[in-house]
Amino acid sequence: MASPMPHYDLCVIGSGSGNSLLDERFSSMKVALVDKGINGAFGGTCLNVGCIPTKMFVRPADLAAAHVDAQRVDVALTPGRPDWPAIRDRIFGRIDAIAESGKQWRQDNEHITLFQGEGRFTGEKTLGVAGGKLTADRFVIATGSRPRPFEVDVPEGVTVHTSDTVMRLEKLPRSMVIIGGGFIAAEFAHVFSAYGTRVTVINRSSTLLRREDTDVSRRFTQLMSRRMTVRLNQKLVRLEPDEDGQILVITADSSGIEYEYAAEVVLNATGRVPNGDTMNLSAAGVETDPDTGLIVVDEFQRTSADGIFALGDVCSPAQLKHVANHEMRVVQHNLLHPDDLIAANHNAIPHAVFGLPQIAAVGATEQELKEAGRRYVSAVQDYGSVAYGWAMEDRESFCKLLADPDTGQLLGAHILGEQAPVLIQPLIQAMSFGLGVRDMARGQYWIHPALAEVVENALLSLPLADPADGSDAGRA
C-alpha cells in the first residue's frame, strides 16, 4: 500500500526571498521548504549568482579602473592588476559558506522540512518534488528567474556562459564577447574590462541600457564605447568553434551584412525569464501572463488559485531583489493575518546599475512622459556645476529630474555618475512620501560642498508654476 502524501500547513517554493519569509512567527506551523538550488547552492539568485557576488566583483573593478579618473586631477596611477583567483575565491569562500550554513539552519528547524529538488504541481495544492508528492493548505511560489537562452543553437564544442557561471571561471580570459545591452551586460563589461580582459559588447538596439532615460542611455553608451568595443544594431546569427580554441561570434545588421568576432569567452547577457513555466502551474490553477510568462497576482500577491501566493521575479516585471523583499513582507503579513490583508506598494521602485559610470533611477523617463502625454518640466544638473564636481573634474556625469509643473511633485529622477545609487535615495524618499520639490530643496540643509549639492541644485532648477500667481511652467 502506497504511503500517504505528507501534508503541510504551508509550502514555500524557493530559497531566496521565500526563505526569508519563514521567521519565528511560523514556528507553530508545519512547513515544507522546496528548493532546487542555484548551481546546487541554497539561498537563491541574489546570494549565489546575482546582486551580492556581482557587487563584490565590481568593487575591485572600480579600484582597478581608478587610474582613469586620477588622470583628471593630475595623479599618475598605473592600471590595477587584479588577482582573479584570489578575488573569486575570497568572494565565493564567503558566499558558499553562507549558503551552506543557511541550508543547515533550515534542516535543523524542527517544524520545517527541506525538500531539495525541482517542484512541479501535479494537481490542486499538490506538488511533486524529490521523487514524491506533498500537499499543503497554502503555497508561496518564489522560484525567481533564470538567464534567457540564446535564440540560436549553441553547437557542440562551444561553451556559452551566463551570470550563473561566469564569475567562477578558472582563469581571467584575455578576451570576451558579451551579447546584450542591459544591466547584466553593463556590469560585467565594467568588471572584466577593468580586470584587463579585451571586451566586446554586441547589442541589437541602438544604445546600451535602452530602457533608461534617453539622455542617460546615450551618455552611458558614449562612455562605455571609450573603454571597450561596443557594436550596436547587430543581432547574433550563429556561434562557431575556432581552430585556435576561441569562439567565433557571427552577427548581422539590419541589412543582413555579417560581422565576425573571436573571443575566449562568450557571455549571454540578454536578460532573464521567470521560472513559472517549469512548474506545471496550470495543474494548480495558477494563471500566467501569456506574453511575459509572469504569474498573475493581485495587490495582495495572491494568484488565481485560492491559497497560493507568489512573489519576486516569478511574478514581478521589476526583477529586483528589493522588490522581492518587499513582496515577501506583504505575503508574510497576509499569511499570518488573513483577515487583515495589506497590499504591495509598487510606486517609486528604484534601480541601479553598478557599471562605470554608475546609474540610478526612479520613476518615469522623459520618453515615457511624452508617450503618455503627461505635462512635465525637467532640469539637468551637471556634476561639474557644484564644488565637489569641480574637485572631481567631472565633465560627464549629471542628475536629471522630471516634475509635475503644477503640483511640484517629482515624476522621475535619473542620475549618471559616481555615487548615483546613494545620491538618489532622498529623491526616492520624496516620491514615496509625497514631498514636493520646493519643500525638499529648501526645507532642509544640504552639506556643502558634498556631491549631494548636485541634487539640491537640480531641484532648484526645475521651472515650476508659481503658487502665488497660478502661472504655468508648461511642457518641457
Distance in angstroms (rounded) separating the CA atoms of residues 190 and 62: 8
For residue 49, the tally of other CB atoms under 10 A from its CB is: 23
Asked if residue 95 lies in contact with residue 52, where contact means CB atoms within 8 angstroms, the answer is yes
Q: Of residues 7, 190, 326, 448, which has the active-site annotation?
A: 448
Cis peptide preceding 449, ω within 30 of 0:
yes
- 7: annotated active-site residue: no
**Cell 515615457 sits at which residue?**
368
* Closest to 193 in 3D by CA, of 209, 172, 212, 179: 172
Distance in angstroms (rounded) separating the CA atoms of residues 91 and 44: 16
Asked if residue 357 lies in contact with residue 416, where contact means CB atoms within 8 angstroms, the answer is yes
Task: Kindly compute the dihedral angle of the four CA atoms of residues 117, 121, 123, 128, in this order, to the nearest 10 degrees.
Answer: -10
Distance in angstroms (rounded) separating the CA atoms of residues 345 and 342: 9
Asked if residue 280 lies in contact with residue 121, where contact means CB atoms within 8 angstroms, the answer is yes
Asked if residue 134 lies in contact with residue 114, where contact means CB atoms within 8 angstroms, the answer is no
Residues identified as active-site: 448
